[in-house]
Amino acid sequence: VRARFEGMPSTYGHVIVDEAQDLSLLQLRAVQRRSSGLSLVGDDAQRSNPNGIGLRAAARHLEVEAAEMATAYRMSAEIAEWLNDHARRHHIDAVRLVGIRPTGRRVHEPGPGADVHALVHELGSRWATVAVIDATDTWSHKGVEYDAVVVDTAGMHPAQVYLAASRAAHELVVV
């Protein structure tokens, strides 16, 4: 309506949709109708909307070419490989990450009963930003990066563990 009365553009040359995996087909079609070019960006493994159709399905429905960017630039190669293994074990539809920055720091999995506060204190002596992510606040960390992350897996679905672990750039502890 505004376009008709105020002369606002009703179409755009190109639209970029971030977190496209969380949008419904109706939402994506609405964006497509208003643009002559469309780029969908997202990660199906980080879908947080139960009504989101996922990036790969969106590309098929909208008849656009899907391209995967698998290089893990912001996280260590060790974390990328742990995420790949976790996704494979739990049948999570994730892009297979290619880690290009090995650090020599393996993902630490101390097991149940580990002292989370002691782990955070230890990580805090090495890194500026450390987060503890648990089942109650997993999705609030989506899109945020930390130097180190402690993932408290109690009560988490494997997809939540994947998202939480993917927030770590340099060091990851999974309890």
C-alpha distance from residue 114 to each of 36, 138, 149, 165 (Å): 53, 19, 14, 17
Q: Mean pLDDT across the stretch 15-19? A: 89
First CA to last CA distance, the chain:
53
Q: Mean pLDDT across the stretch 11-35? A: 89
Angle CA(15)–CA(20)–CA(25) in degrees, nearest 5?
Answer: 95
Q: Please, which pLDDT band fits residue 136 given cuts at 50, 70 and 90?
A: very high
Give the model's pLDDT for residue 23. Answer: 92
More confident residue, 59 or 10: 59
Identity (one letter) of the amino acid at 102?
Answer: P
Give the model's pLDDT for residue 56. Answer: 87
Q: What is the largest CA-CA distance in the chain?
A: 64
SS3 (DSSP) at 148:
strand
- Asked if the model's pLDDT at residue 123 lies above 70, the reply is yes
Give the model's pLDDT for residue 4. Answer: 66
More confident residue, 86 or 55: 86
Q: Mean pLDDT across the stretch 24-28? A: 90
Q: Please, which pLDDT band fits residue 3 given cuts at 50, 70 and 90?
A: low
Q: Mean pLDDT across the stretch 94-105? A: 91
Q: Please, which pLDDT band fits residue 36 given cuts at 50, 70 and 90?
A: confident
For tokens 């097991």, the residue is 111
The DSSP result for 146-161, as a single string, is EEEEEE--TT--HHHH
Q: What's the residue count for the chain?
A: 175
**Mean of pLDDT over the chain:** 91
Half-sphere exposure of 123 (CA within 13 A, CB side): 27
